[in-house]
Amino acid sequence: MQLTIDPSFVFCSPKTSLIQRLSGVFTIVALLTVGARLSQAQESADSDSDTAPAFPVVTVCVASVDRIMDNIAYVFGEAERPEVMDLIGAGLANVRDLKGLDRTKPGGLMIFLSEGLVPLPIPVGFLPVKDIGEFGQTVTSAGAQLKPVPGEEDHYELIPRRGPTSFVVIQNGYAFIGQNEESIDRTFASPEEFAGPLAARYDICASANLRKTPKAVRDLVLLTVKNSAQASMQRRDDEPEAVYNLRRSQSESNLRFVEHLLRDGEELTLGFKVDQIARNASLELVVKAMPNSAFAKELKEGIARPSYFAAAIDESVPLSASMSVLMAKRDRKTMLDLFNLGEQESNRNLAGLPKDAAVEDIPGQQSTQDLFNSLRETIKEGHLDGFVQFFGEPGEKFVVAGGVKIINAGAFGSGLSDVLEKASRTNADMNVELGVDSYGDIVLHRLVGNQQRARDKRLFGENSALYFGTDNQALWFAVGGDDAIPTLRAAIDRVNSGNDAGPRRGELAPFQLVINMSEWIQINQSDRDQPGRFAAQALQAFEVDDSDILRADARSLKDGFRVRIQVENGFLKLLGLLIAGRIDSNQDL
Q: Residues 265-289: pLDDT tens digits?
A: 998 999 999 999 999 999 999 999 9
Q: How far is CA 438 from CA 415, 443, 471, in A?
A: 17, 4, 11
pLDDT digits (tens, 9 = 90+) for 96-106: 999 999 999 99
Of 467, 422, 418, the C-alpha closest to 447 is 467
Across the range 477-497, mean pLDDT stands at 92
pLDDT exceeds cutoff 80 at 26: no
Query: Three-class SS string for 54-98?
Result: ECCCEEEEECCHHHHHHHHHHHHHHCCCCCHHHHHHHHHHCCHHH
* pLDDT reported for residue 477: 96
- Is 399:460 a contact under the CB 8 Å cutoff? yes
* pLDDT reported for residue 7: 36
pLDDT exceeds cutoff 90 at 428: no
Q: Distance (Å, rounded) from C-alpha 153 to C-alpha 147?
A: 12
Q: Can you state the angle between helices 22-33 and 215-232, rounded to 10 degrees?
A: 130
Across the range 214-230, mean pLDDT stands at 78
User: Please, what sign has the CA dihedral across residues 460, 465, 466, 467?
Assistant: negative
Q: Which residues contact 74 (CB under 8 A, 6 or more apart)?
A: 274, 276, 572
* pLDDT reported for residue 103: 96
* pLDDT reported for residue 248: 80
Across the range 246-267, mean pLDDT stands at 82
Q: Can you give the residue ranges of every domain in the chain?
A: 331-382+390-496
Exposure of 161 by Cβ count < 10 A (0-12 exposed, 13-18 middle, 19+ buried)?
Answer: exposed
Q: What average pLDDT does the chain have? A: 83
Radius of gyration of the chain (CA): 29
Q: Distance (Å, rounded) from C-alpha 439 to C-alpha 455?
A: 30
pTM of the predicted model as reported, rounded to 2 decimal places: 0.81
pLDDT digits (tens, 9 = 90+) for 509-562: 788 899 999 888 887 766 666 677 888 899 899 999 889 999 998 888 888 889
pLDDT digits (tens, 9 = 90+) for 113-149: 776 666 578 999 999 999 999 999 999 999 999 999 9
* pLDDT reported for residue 529: 61
Q: Are strands 430-439 and 145-148 parallel, antiparallel or unpaired?
A: unpaired
Q: Distance (Å, rounded) from C-alpha 458 to C-alpha 397?
A: 7
Across the range 435-440, mean pLDDT stands at 92
Q: Can you state the angle between helices 65-78 and 84-93, rounded to 10 degrees?
A: 160
pLDDT exceeds cutoff 80 at 291: yes
